[in-house]
Amino acid sequence: MITISLCMIVKNEEKILERCLGSIADLVDEIIIADTGSTDATKEIAGRYTEHVYDFQWVDDFSAARNFVFSKATMEYIYSADADEVLSPENRERFRLMKDTLLPDIEIVQMKYGNQLQFGTVYNYDEEYRPKLFRRKRDFLWEEPIHEMVRLTPVVYDSDIVITHLPEESHAKRDLAAFHRHCREGCRLSRRLHGMYARELMLAGDAEDFAQAAAFFQASAADAHRDEEELKQACCIAAKAARLAGNTILFFKYTCKVIAGEACSEICCEMGHFYEEQKDWEEAAVWYYNAVYETQPILSIHTGGRESLEGLVRCYEAMNSPEQAQVYREELRKSY
């Protein structure tokens, strides 16, 4: 049987922390919690479960906080959890079995992160694998009988454990503000963060968020060091920001960059919105149709589904075609 340190960073989680800890505390051997500035009863609740509660001064860096709390762990493995996570009775048993039987050469255990879409979180999938359990000290091994080398790729196990995500509120505004702050300070976003910033904007951003992000993504769309996927992401954001700002020239500049290659649902949906705003219902319907049936989304599944289907319903209602509107209304009903 392996030993596990539960490591968490928290702030003002009094409403949900006990729910999380109550579902996992008896399955781990050590609980370590770093509080980043709570003003409610979070630390008091944490203290009921562990004496290892630390104050960590927030430095606008989640990785710094995670590294700090990980550094306090002493068990063989570290389980990283957030306060809005819960293990159901069925998945508690799966976790217990995993702890009893995990092979010693496994360095990372992935678990399914579930219930993503119900609460409007900024993800395109209701369930996805995430690395959650980490071997604290890694054993470096040589491999290959000739031209030997140290194995650098970790041994990863995809478990059947499902963690239920039950957030009290969306963190999108907090995350978007952090992205904007880092970009304003001149930080270059990695490929991963570039995609996450674009996706969060598409899924949860408002006009103000897009206005703040416009300059960054316009620059990104002209960055020769970004790959094709990043350039397409940047054009999608720049196009929507331009439409929301009423800048038609910039709107078509960035939509055409994408359409000239391989179009995506996001750009087709934006074209639909543009023509709908001009009350050109027929042209808008063409683009909404393309968003749903002829292209694939790269940032938001809703542009290839619900958002564009709603547009089709509005367009055919405006064109006095109730039968066709009902067809798409039925498609919309199936998408929920």
Band (168; pLDDT cuts 50, 70, 90): confident
Q: What are the residue ranges of CATH 1.25.40 in the chain?
A: 172-335
Q: Which pLDDT belongs to residue 125?
A: 57
Q: Which pLDDT belongs to residue 149?
A: 86
Q: Which CATH fold topology does 172-335 show?
A: 1.25.40
CA distance 3 to 79: 10
CA distance 265 to 238: 15
Rounded to 10 deg, the angle between the 265-277 and 248-259 helix axes is 150
pLDDT for residue 148 is more than 90: no
Q: What are the residue ranges of CATH 3.90.550.10 in the chain?
A: 4-165
Does domain 4-165 fall into CATH 3.40.50.2300?
no
pLDDT for residue 126 is more than 80: no
Q: Which pLDDT belongs to residue 186?
A: 87
Number of other residues whose CB lies within 10 A of the CB of residue 305: 20
Please give the sequence-ordered ranges of beta strands (E in DSSP) within 204-320, or none if there are none: none
Which tokens hold the place of 335? 């998408």
Write down the pTM of the prediction.
0.76
CA distance 144 to 67: 33
Phi-psi region of 60 (alpha: psi -120 to 50; beta: other; left: phi over 0): left
Q: Which pLDDT belongs to residue 124?
A: 55
Q: Which pLDDT belongs to residue 167?
A: 79
